[in-house]
Structure 1
Amino acid sequence: MIDLTGKTILVTGATKGIGAEIVRSLHAAGASIVGHYGNDKASADALLAEYPKRLYLIRQDLAKSDGADRLWAETLNLIGKVDVLVNNAGIYVETPLDKTDKWQSGWETNLQVNLRAPADLCRHAIKHFENNGGGIIVNMASRSSHRGDGPDHLAYGAAKGGLMALTKGIARGYGHQGVLAYVLAPGWVRTAMAEDHIAAVGEDKVAEHLPLREVTPPSDVAAMATFLASGLCRHATGSTIDITGADYVR
């Protein structure tokens, strides 16, 4: 049993989908969690009602250029020290080639939320960890980081690829100072976005193309995030862990 008692963990995108499952898993292991959320206050209130102790929620817009800076400052003001950063928040915005406005705005949004905001939080975390005996970063990438994404989501794949490269650089550059950094790269995960696709196509149709014949449950991703947050495998720092049910293998 992983024991995270006494650890404080900042999780972005914490109140829905994979993020909410990560919060549940970390909480079960004894951690105190600062959970970030954007606009969905109903989901935030529901999660807080589920965990009234050892969970604190902060609302911040990571699509704004100073959103990550504000989130980090609010987190430290609230709880004083962070041991683990889990950059889970992400957005999947179209960037169609034939629509100039959507192409430009989509690139800006994808890069800001999926790469720049996590990078800003990583920067704050590294500086914080250097002064507090080290720490752990877990960044949520995607199978798109490896293979790219579809024609209407080129920016998403590029941003997630950048996040993967960023994590590797952090692991190589700051390991000697006790900073560990890992990448999780899920494929199809049963979240609200996947449910929309499943409803449109049919679950059997989706499952027949997956080696395990099922969409990955978010609890699988959460379990791996919790393991990495434990620091039990320090020498895996810099690694990317694919969670795709063998839908994508390297």
Structure 2
Amino acid sequence: MDMGIDGRTVIVTGASGGLGRDIARGFGAEGADVVLTYHRARPDAERIAKEIGERAIVVPHDLADPGAADAVLRAALDWTGRVDVLVNNAVVWGSTDPGQELSFDQVPDEQWTAMLRANIEGALRLSRAVAPVLRERRWGRLVHISSSIATDGMAGGEYYGAAKAALHGFSRSVAFSLGRHGDILSNVVQPGLTRTDTNAEITGAAAEQYSSLAALGRLLTAAEVAGPVVYLGSAANTGITGQVIEVSGGT
């Protein structure tokens, strides 16, 4: 299938690890110019960019920095003169002191509010930054990466789940507001627990439990989640918008 994204410019946030690596690789394999953002792991992002080739660049991006979104947009426009697709994949996890389990009402205010703000505002800022470019071109795709925690819940995931659920409401309304200005689509991909190259410890411990809940009887790999993300962000997707697409192996 011709995805129709050869020569289009795609921004993939959090592309230095986890799902982001395979999402960036997927767009690169389709001939897109890929902007890979990273927070701290520049060498990892550069390694993926080298795999993709000359049609990839790496750009720093801190979700908590109010000026980071405009800097990413400028870097993309300076490079190719266009932005066609944004994949909001980067996340900031909440944390507590090592070995100390706190209930959601015991987590210090500065900890949970910072995690909420970075995850919600970081994605919204970058979406706001690219929106005028998409309107001008009358074409674009937004794909926001969520988590099954947003709908299934998980003890300890209260604030992360809240942040991801916020993306669902945002994307749904953006689909209407931007859809009036051309072929501009906005969707959410909601993975379940997924095997990536950075979470072997977590998936190893929980694989049996989660696999038993899946129709496929196993966890998906990052590449299997990346495929639907690339499709939703491509020209091959002409009618799916405002949706939350679960990609979990049937959990």
Letter in 2 for 1:237: T
Q: After TM superposition, list the pairs within 5 Å mapping 1:5-154 onto structure 2.
A: 5-94=6-95, 96-97=102-103, 100=106, 102-147=107-152, 149-154=153-158
Contact 1:3 1:30 in 2 (8 A): no
User: Residues 200-211 of structure 1 correspond to what in structure 2 (within 5 A)?
Assistant: 200=205, 203-204=207-208, 206-211=210-215
Q: Specify the SS of the correspondent of 1:131.
A: helix
What is the SS of the residue equivalent to 2:108? helix
Q: Post-superposition shift, 1:31?
A: 0.7
Letter aligned with residue 143 of structure 2: V
Residue aligning to 1:244: 248
Are positions 1:166 and 2:170 aligned together?
yes
C-alpha distance in structure 2 between counterparts of 1:98 and 1:234, whole Å: 41
> Which residue type is aligned with residue 191 of structure 2?
P
Task: State how far apart, in whole Å, the 2-side matches of 1:138 and 1:189 are.
Answer: 18
What does the per-residue CA deviation read over 1:30-72, in whole Å, with 9 as the maximum and x for residues that have no partner? 1111110110122123212322310111012222232223222
Aligned residues: 244
Which of 231, 238, 249 is residue 234 of structure 1 equivalent to?
Answer: 238
Q: Aligned partners of 1:33, 1:97: CA distance in 2, in Å?
A: 40
The answer to whether the 8 A contact 2:176-2:242 is kept is: yes
> What do you get for the CA RMSD once the two structures are aligned?
2.0
How far apart are the structure 2 equivalents of 1:194 and 1:75?
A: 29
User: 1:192: how far off?
Assistant: 4.8
Cα distance between partner residues in 2 of 1:171 and 1:207: 33
CA–CA distance in structure 1, aligned partners of residues 61 and 163 of structure 2: 20
Contact 2:150 2:162 in 1 (8 A): yes
The match for 1:197 among 198, 202, 221 is 202
Contact 2:172–2:186 at 8 Å: present in 1 too? yes
**For residue 176 of structure 1, what is the aligned residue in structure 2?**
180
Aligned residue identity for 2:177 = G
Q: Please give the secondary structure, in 2, of the residue aligned with 1:177.
A: coil
Question: Of residues 211, 218, 230 in structure 1, which corresponds to 2:222?
Answer: 218
User: Cα deviation per residue 1:108-143 (whole Å; 9 max; x = unaligned)?
Assistant: 332233211110111112111111222111111122
Q: Is the 8 A contact 1:65 1:112 kept in 2?
A: no
5+ long unaligned stretches in structure 2: 97-101
Does the 8 Å contact 1:89/1:113 carry over to 2?
no
In structure 2, how many angstroms separate the alpha carbons of the residues matched to 1:196 and 1:131? Answer: 45
**Inter-CA distance 84–198: structure 2 relative to 1 (3 Å threshold):** closer
Give the TM-score of the pair, scaled to structure 2: 0.89
Q: Give the Cα–Cα distance (whole angstroms) in 2 for the partners of residues 3 and 172 of structure 1.
A: 23
Question: What are the ranges of 5 or more consecutive residues in structure 1 without an aligned counterpart?
Answer: none
CA distance in 2, matches of 1:171, 1:227: 17
DSSP-derived class of the 1:181 partner: strand
The answer to whether the Cα contact below 8 Å between 2:18 and 2:199 also exists between their aligned partners in 1 is no
Q: Identity of aligned pairs, percent?
A: 28
